[in-house]
Each structure stands twice: as C-alpha cells, then as structure tokens.
C-alpha cells in the first residue's frame, strides 16, 4: 500500500520489516520502530520496550529509525536515555531519526478535560525530543491548550496562552512547530485512530492544519492500512494532494 500510494517511506516494527526486507528495502525507504508496547503484561503497563538495535535496523537496509517516548510516565527517563543513545548511534551510521513524542499519564486528565494533546504539554515534549537529536518529531495534533495550568506543574509563561497561541487549530499546531527549534526540526502529525466514514475528511483536515502551521507532513497508519487497498490509497493520495497544492500555504 505504501508503494502503490506513493509514500515517502514505510514505518513498522523489526518483525514486519525484516520479514520483507530482501524484497522491498530497495523499493521504498524503511523506518524501523526500535521500541513499542507489548500488551501481554497484566495489568498492561504501556511501557515502550526496545525490541532490537540500531545496527540490526541498519543491517536490514533501513534508512531511518523511530522510537516512542511516553513523556510524563514513570518510565520516561529510562526511555529518554535509551532513545538518546540509539539516536546517537543511528547518526553515526548515517541514518535519520524520528521520535514519537507522546504523553502518557492519567493525571493529564483533569476535570473532564484530556490534556494529552494540549499545545503546551505536547510542545514541551517536542522540545525534549529535538534536544536528544530527533531529526523529525511525530506528535498528535493539538486539541486544546493550558495543560500546565490546569494540572498545576512544570514551568511555563503566561505568554504561551496570551501571545504565542490562540484557540485556532493552526495556531496551536504552530506552537508545536516552534518547539522544534522554530521548525528547524520538522513536525509531522499523526493521522490518529480510524473512525470509519470520517477518516478521509479527518486526514485531509489534519494535513491542512499541519501544512499551514509550518509542519512537514503526516504519518497515516490505521486510517489507511485498516482499509481495503483502494480506499487506503485514496486516503494517502488525498493527504499528498494537500502538500502538493501550492494554494495551501503557511497561515
């Protein structure tokens, strides 16, 4: 689907990519996800576990490695160290690095509002991600702001809520971009979960917001690959049309 849909690369786990590396590694750039969940621990811990090494990814022909850090979780400091060391070695081998800068803490839900995708918290996660030399940051599209204030932790400035952002989705996403050294490190937003009939519309809207905010692209996962081939490719092409359209400009 990634090849037929004209994608820049395909990102997946060691198992998936190593199984098809001989046939496809030279046809489309591989991004190996170094860590991910294992959901057989009971109760589920939602930890990110390293499933292989950078050298293994390089040996199977990957051009880049990816990893997730669950900022805010009890395991985040260990993940920071693991991923920083892996990214350093990846750069020594000439590979690019992509960091999924996600938040994970039940306390980030306050008074019925979920701040896991607030502009201020995700912006800080992005800043930490580029600090450990991520070449590209992957982040959820922001849906609100004010996580630091609502939860009552961290250090921030009132200007984050009065001068640097507004409630407009593009401005919220622009704040994420700004936390990547003012866009020097590219921001890609995630396509999110599949919701059925609205997937195509949702993906296009996300792409427009990302592009107009100064982002560099979109990762489309379940919205595309959980569909029949033709529908998945249609969604991928619709997203690509946004970035190819010269009339969709920086806001």
Question: Which residues are designated catalytic?
Answer: 138
What is the CB neighbour count within 10 angstroms for residue 229?
12
How is residue 100 written in tokens? 């999924």
C-alpha angle 244/245/247, rounded to 5°? 150
Asked, as a colleague might, if the bond just before 43 is cis with ω within 30 of 0, I would say yes
Q: Give the residue from 78, 154, 83 showing the smallest Cα distance to 118.
A: 154
Using the CB atoms, write b or e for 93-130: b if 16+ within 10 Å.
eebbbbbbbbbbbeebeeeeeebbbbbbbbbbbbbbbb
């Amino acid at each position: 689907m990634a090849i037929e849909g004209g994608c820049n690369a395909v990102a997946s786990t060691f198992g998936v990519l190593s199984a098809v590396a001989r046939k496809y590694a030279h046809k489309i750039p591989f991004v190996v996800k170094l860590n991910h969940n294992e959901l057989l621990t009971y109760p589920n811990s939602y930890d990110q576990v390293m499933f292989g090494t950078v050298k293994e990814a390089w040996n199977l022909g990957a051009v880049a490695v990816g990893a997730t850090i669950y900022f805010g979780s009890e395991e985040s400091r260990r993940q920071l160290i693991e991923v920083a060391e892996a990214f350093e070695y990846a750069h020594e081998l000439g590979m690019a690095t992509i960091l999924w800068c996600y938040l994970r803490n039940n306390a980030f839900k306050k008074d019925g509002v979920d701040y896991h995708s607030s502009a201020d918290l995700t912006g800080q996660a992005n800043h930490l991600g580029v600090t450990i030399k991520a070449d590209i940051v992957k982040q959820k599209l922001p849906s609100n702001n004010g996580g630091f204030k609502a939860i009552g932790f961290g250090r921030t400035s009132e200007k984050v809520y009065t001068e640097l952002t507004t409630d407009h989705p593009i401005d919220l996403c622009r704040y994420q971009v700004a936390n990547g050294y003012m866009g020097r490190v590219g921001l890609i937003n995630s396509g999110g979960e599949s919701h059925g009939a609205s997937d195509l519309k949702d993906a296009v809207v996300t792409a427009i917001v990302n592009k107009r905010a100064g982002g560099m692209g979109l990762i489309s996962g379940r919205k595309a690959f959980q569909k029949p081939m033709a529908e998945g490719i249609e969604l991928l092409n619709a997203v690509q049309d946004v970035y190819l359209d010269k009339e969709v400009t920086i806001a």
